[in-house]
Amino acid sequence: MRQRIGRIALVFALGLLSASTSQAQAQQAATKAPSPPAPSRDLSGVWNIANPRGTNLPESWGKVPPVLTPWGEQQFKLSKQSNGGPFTLDATNDPVITKCLPPGVPRIYLHPFLLEITQNPKEVLMLFEYDHTVRRVFVDGRKHPDDPLPTYMGDSIGTWEGNDTLVVDTVGFKDSTWLDRAGHRNSDQLHVVERMKRVDRDHLQIDITMQDPKALAKPWLGQMFYNLRSDWDVLEQDCTDNPDFLGFEK
């Protein structure tokens, strides 16, 4: 059974170390026998981030920064980044750290905790170990509401493209989140499209397109890779277990 880091503060501080470890794991995996083919239209399993260093840095999406609108530039200048940035944890204004707010989509992928996916005819359930967050991707043919209630995870509709790719369209976001851990803000006009593909039985790839006419001058792309961990379990991780360190009252 694996050793797990229980404190959120250590996870933020060790983000780069996590990327380095993931790179080593990816290199080791490359020397092993190929994974069997992926099952048809099945993303289920417990998944662990496996991004090698240089593809997606833990604090942001890739090495190329987003092209921001004037509003997006103004908001970014107000952000006080502590993940690889100049601000300490007690000086940051990161809403995840200072208020324990949910990271939202797509930022939650940048938190190096497990992701469990389960499926039924109505929905694909994404169970994030970070702050025991649940995301529902409806695959029963429904459409987005005309006026969706703003939430951190948004309103997600999934459709299958062929037998291997789930295309997830998400709208209806709150404007109190960051797109990444570096402090790039989104507005309530954020629109996220994800293409989730199980490339073989043991490997999952998620390609992300972020569009936000208020914050982003052009679409911003991200990509994530995961390894299947069949013998691992998603544990409880709660942000509010760390009130003294993170600077808010219990």
Task: Please state, in angstroms and as integers, the Cα–Cα distance from residue 231 to each residue in 47, 167, 198, following that order.
Answer: 11, 27, 18
Is the separation of the CB atoms in 189 and 214 below 8 Å? yes
Res 1 pLDDT > 70: no
Average pLDDT of the residues in 135-144: 98
Alpha helices in the chain (DSSP H): 8-13, 15-30, 70-78, 95-98, 243-246
- Minimum mean pLDDT range among 11-15, 34-38, 48-52, 180-184: 11-15
The pLDDT of residue 11 is above 60: no
Query: How far is the CA of 20 from the CAs of 16, 227, 232, in angstroms?
Result: 6, 15, 21
Amino acid type, 45: G
- The pLDDT of residue 241: 78
Look at residue 212 and tell me whether its pLDDT is greater than 50.
yes
* Dihedral sign, Cα of residue 119, residue 122, residue 124, residue 128: negative
| pLDDT, average across residues 141-164 | 97
Topology of domain 8-32+39-231, CATH? Lipocalin (2.40.128)
Sketch the domain layout of the chain as residue ranges: 8-32+39-231
Residue 249's pLDDT is what? 42
Q: Is the pLDDT assigned to residue 132 strictly greater than 80?
A: yes
**Average pLDDT of the segment spanning 227-239:** 94
- Residue 55: pLDDT over 60: no
DSSP for 159-204, written as a single string: EEETTTEEEEEEE-B-SSSBSSSS--B--TT-EEEEEEEEEETTEE
